[in-house]
Amino acid sequence: MRGISRLEGKYAVTMDLYPPQGKEFTRIQPFFDNLRENRFTTTKCRKCGKLAYPPRVICPECLSEDLEWVDLPTEGIVVESVVEEIGVPIGFETPLVLALVEIPGTFTFIVRIANCKPGSLEPGDKVKLHVFEVEPFPAEFGRETVEIKRVYFAFEPVDPEKRIK
């Protein structure tokens, strides 16, 4: 949106990389509230016990809506990583570091790695949750437009030698 004079001061929803936040716009708002407290959480079904990530509003196993929020570990282990220098999506800085991260005892998923020296991550390296603010989401309530503050997450290397200083 910066550098595109036609969009200056306007919100381009199709170019927004981050989900809307606020209880009026998402049923997983507790996930974002917990991120603000540096907690990494997801939902667990009270009926069948299924732990699901990303957080759900309906259990993918038994279709129950009786879910509870549970904390996940905030540290994980790199299974594999990649550095993207070409084809990086608009809005992300180049190079973009991504990794397949295992959260012990729960899930393995692909996540952005922030504050990382490109090429420094190796399988077995520890990474930790990194919460950051993103641009506010403009929302209309009646005739008034308000900006809803947002946060999102990535992971970053635990080892200070692998972090960008």
User: Does 98 map to a domain?
Assistant: yes
Q: Do residues 110 and 103 touch, judged by C-beta distance below 8 A?
A: no
Please give the residue range of the domain that contains residue 81.
5-39+74-162
Report pLDDT for 8: 54
- Three-state DSSP class for residue 34: helix
- Report how far residue 46's alpha carbon sits from residue 50's, in angstroms, rounded to the nearest whole number: 8
Q: What is the pLDDT along the chain (165 residues), one digit of tens a residue?
A: 233 444 455 556 666 777 888 888 889 999 999 999 999 999 999 999 999 999 999 999 999 999 999 999 999 999 999 999 998 887 788 999 999 999 998 999 999 999 999 999 999 999 999 999 988 888 888 888 888 899 999 999 999 999 987
* Helix (H) and strand (E) counts in the chain: 1, 8
Count of the separate structural domains present in the chain: 1
User: Does 113 map to a domain?
Assistant: yes
67 closest CA partner among 13, 27, 113, 19: 27
- Report how far residue 112's alpha carbon sits from residue 98's, in angstroms, rounded to the nearest whole number: 5
User: Does 83 map to a domain?
Assistant: yes
User: Does 110 map to a domain?
Assistant: yes
Residue carrying structure tokens 């994980």: 76
User: Does 51 map to a domain?
Assistant: no
Beta-bridge mates of residue 138: 147
Report pLDDT for 97: 96
pTM, 2 dp: 0.86
User: Does 142 map to a domain?
Assistant: yes
User: Does 158 map to a domain?
Assistant: yes
User: Does 104 map to a domain?
Assistant: yes
